[in-house]
Amino acid sequence: MAAYLLGMDYGTGGAKACLINTEGEVLGFAFEEYPFIHQHPGWSEHDAQLYWPIACRLIRQVMAQAGATAREVRAVAVSSALPSLVLVDRTGRPLANAYNLMDRRATEEVAWLRREFGEDYLFQVSGNRLEDHPTLVNLIWEMRHRPELFRQVDKALTIDGYITRRLTGAPALHHSGAGFYGPAYNLRERRYQADLLEAIGIPLEMMPPLYDCTDIVGELTPEAAEETGLAAGTPVAAGQVDCNAGWVGAGAIAPGAIQSNLGSVGNFGVVHNRLDFIFSDVGRVMINCAYTVDSAHTFVTIPTTMTGGLSIRYLRDQFARAEMEAERQGGTPVYDLLNAEAERVPPGSEGLLVLPFLMGERTPIWDVQARGVVFGLSLHHGRGHLVRAMMEAVAYAMYDSYRLIKESGLPIQFPLVLNEGGAVSRLWRQIICDVFDVPIVLVKRRTGAPYGDAILAGVATGVLPGFDVAREWAEYIEPMAPDPSRHVLYMEYFALYKRLYEHVREDFQALARLRG
């Protein structure tokens, strides 16, 4: 009987599933978008009721593609973009829309935590800045603004934790995701900060049990088996944060590895075993969590700009609606059209510069009120200029963090490996290559995070011998070298990018007051 491994990932804008065999071959892959819900400024939600039906559809699709039977699927693992929050009652039913990582409603709660407990104490507990709006601040917001709903909450889950609960009936949180609960989780001691939760008024019992990524949480229930087409009793691993999943799937299994995603957010990760770096001045302005491979001793630092690939999706959705309809009728993919237009624009976008902060910004500036700015617009500029300028802006935002890590001396092994989402664009990869001034390669396999989840499922159950197979299976293509002259030009634009932000930083605060 064949042995297959199933991985699923819930990103910011959609879900993916992947089915592989024990040789690492992808036999089934499926993707489905879900809509964003922005009810108020700073809010960003999903309809949590959509997650499980999507899982059932994707699982059946990949099994049909592979011609797999239920008993041939030997293990499952799930990841999701974090921070996210699905509040469930005792039956596992979602009580409200789910928070996704772009939600920034809890600004008053962040300020309150700082006043009550102190910025340094909160950082020393979590190894992360509070501005990332982790799960803890959203729970405080719920407690204050929707107390009746809050009293019904049994568990505060991530999206992947919610799917794992639907599969097994067991609530769970892996240590790689626990870092995104903020100071509710003690990164050094790998436990919940019970005294802080008690002081705030959040029951410790609301936190899901903690697991290493490779632990088995439980087995598929008969009910879940009937809905998904899998077999009851199939083991389900604890899972991992989605960026870890993508990087594991592309071979990042040892300290020094550096990989980048251009999914809805734009980020890169450096794998290391340096707890001292996390608690340094540079680590303080980054995002840090446990890594999947040996999550008790290995970490990943994840500089992140809030709108990476989502920035180009925004341009597509708002400025290419006719082309989107043509694509639905069998025409050229809209992203290909936008990319072709951007390729005709020279580096620097002929004086068009963008601040890509469409939903606030994370590393290294941590400005929840920052918003997008288009600077230098003239009648000469067209849609292609705007697309290229947005690609360059995302590269500048990521480089802003990279330069700090490089200066810190944290060991990095090049080339930089480009992974999911917008990395399919050769133009965007070359822009990043030239801005960062480092060699880069592209992962040949385009299945991303769910592939890494499938590997995790195999390692967790012993179906695979270990994570070394991920590096053996990873194939890198289309190597690029930076162009020195373009790097010099981009550094001039980057300096202007930094000055522009400093000029308007206080104006973002004024704008936030005006919009209410």
Question: What per-residue confidence (pLDDT) applies to 419?
Answer: 87
Q: 469 in a domain, yes or no?
A: no
Amino acid found at 407 = E
Question: What per-residue confidence (pLDDT) applies to 332?
Answer: 96
β-pair partners for 236: 76, 218
The tens digit of pLDDT for each residue in 263-300 reads 788 999 999 999 999 999 999 999 999 999 999 999 99
Arithmetic mean of pLDDT over the chain: 96
Tokens of 142: 């719920």
Q: 462 in a domain, yes or no?
A: no
Amino acid found at 64 = A
Please indicate, yes or no, whether residues 213 and 260 belong to a single structural domain of this protein: no
Tokens of 94: 């979602």
Name the residue range of residue 51's domain: 4-243
Tokens of 20: 């592989």
**β-pair type (413-421, 257-262):** parallel
Q: Is there a contact between 487 and 350 (Cβ–Cβ < 8 Å)?
A: no
- Say yes or no to pLDDT of 110 above 80: yes
Distance of CA 370 to the CA centre of its chain: 20
pLDDT above 90 as % of the chain: 92
Please indicate, yes or no, whether residues 398 and 488 belong to a single structural domain of this protein: yes
Please indicate, yes or no, whether residues 31 and 159 belong to a single structural domain of this protein: yes
Residue where a domain stops, chosen among 243, 266, 298: 243
Q: Is there a contact between 62 and 6 (Cβ–Cβ < 8 Å)?
A: yes
- Say yes or no to pLDDT of 154 above 90: yes
What's the rounded mean pLDDT across residues 347-358?
97
Residue where a domain stops, chosen among 197, 212, 243: 243
Distance of CA 443 to the CA centre of its chain: 18
- Say yes or no to pLDDT of 427 above 80: yes
Q: 474 in a domain, yes or no?
A: no
Please indicate, yes or no, whether residues 210 and 303 belong to a single structural domain of this protein: no
Q: 450 in a domain, yes or no?
A: no
Angle, CA 8 vertex, CA 165 and CA 128 arms, to 5°: 75
Residue where a domain stops, chosen among 243, 265, 294: 243
- Say yes or no to pLDDT of 132 above 80: no
- Say yes or no to pLDDT of 344 above 90: yes
Reduce the DSSP state of residue 505 to 3 states and report it: helix
CA dihedral for 140, 146, 147, 149, sign (positive or negative): negative
Question: What per-residue confidence (pLDDT) applies to 455?
Answer: 98
Containing 4, the helix (H) or strand (E) segment is strand 4-10
Q: 228 in a domain, yes or no?
A: yes
Please indicate, yes or no, whether residues 96 and 171 belong to a single structural domain of this protein: yes
Phi, psi of 209 (to 5 degrees): -55, 145
**β-pair type (235-237, 240-241):** unpaired
Q: Is there a contact between 357 and 311 (Cβ–Cβ < 8 Å)?
A: no
Phi, psi of 456 (to 5 degrees): -60, -45
Please indicate, yes or no, whether residues 258 and 239 belong to a single structural domain of this protein: no
The tens digit of pLDDT for each residue in 75-86 reads 999 999 999 999
DSSP class per residue in 349-368: GGG-EEE--BTBB-TTT-BT
Q: Which CATH number covers residue 264? A: 3.30.420.40
Please indicate, yes or no, whether residues 307 and 405 belong to a single structural domain of this protein: yes
Q: 471 in a domain, yes or no?
A: no
- Say yes or no to pLDDT of 314 above 90: yes
The b-or-e profile of 491-500 (16+ CB within 10 A means b, else e) is bebbebbeeb
Please indicate, yes or no, whether residues 187 and 319 belong to a single structural domain of this protein: no
Question: What per-residue confidence (pLDDT) applies to 460?
Answer: 98
Q: 139 in a domain, yes or no?
A: yes
Please indicate, yes or no, whether residues 148 and 188 belong to a single structural domain of this protein: yes
Residue at token pair 């299976």: 473
Counted residue by residue, the chain has a size of 516
Question: What per-residue confidence (pLDDT) applies to 368?
Answer: 87
Please indicate, yes or no, whether residues 234 and 274 belong to a single structural domain of this protein: no
Question: What per-residue confidence (pLDDT) applies to 422?
Answer: 85
Question: What per-residue confidence (pLDDT) applies to 149?
Answer: 98
Question: What per-residue confidence (pLDDT) applies to 104?
Answer: 87
Question: What per-residue confidence (pLDDT) applies to 446?
Answer: 80
What's the rounded mean pLDDT across residues 299-314?
93
The tens digit of pLDDT for each residue in 443-479 reads 998 888 999 999 999 999 999 999 999 999 999 999 9
Please indicate, yes or no, whether residues 303 and 371 belong to a single structural domain of this protein: yes
Least confident of 165-179, 400-414, 416-430, 450-464: 416-430
The CA distance from 280 to 287, in Å, is: 12
Question: What per-residue confidence (pLDDT) applies to 76?
Answer: 98
pLDDT above 70 as % of the chain: 100
Question: What per-residue confidence (pLDDT) applies to 133?
Answer: 82
- Say yes or no to pLDDT of 108 above 80: yes
Please indicate, yes or no, whether residues 264 and 408 belong to a single structural domain of this protein: yes
Residue at token pair 């995104």: 180
Least confident of 61-65, 237-241, 365-369: 365-369
Q: 472 in a domain, yes or no?
A: no
Question: What per-residue confidence (pLDDT) applies to 78?
Answer: 98
Containing 407, the helix (H) or strand (E) segment is helix 383-408
Question: What per-residue confidence (pLDDT) applies to 193?
Answer: 98
What's the rounded mean pLDDT across residues 214-238?
98
Phi, psi of 162 (to 5 degrees): -65, -45
- Specify the pTM: 0.93
- Say yes or no to pLDDT of 420 above 80: no
Angle, CA 108 vertex, CA 113 and CA 103 arms, to 5°: 105
Total number of domains constituting the chain: 2
- Position 359 confidence tier, pLDDT thresholds 50, 70, 90: confident
**Residue partners of 454: CB distance under 8 A and separation at least 6:** 5, 6, 7, 18, 19, 20, 77, 249
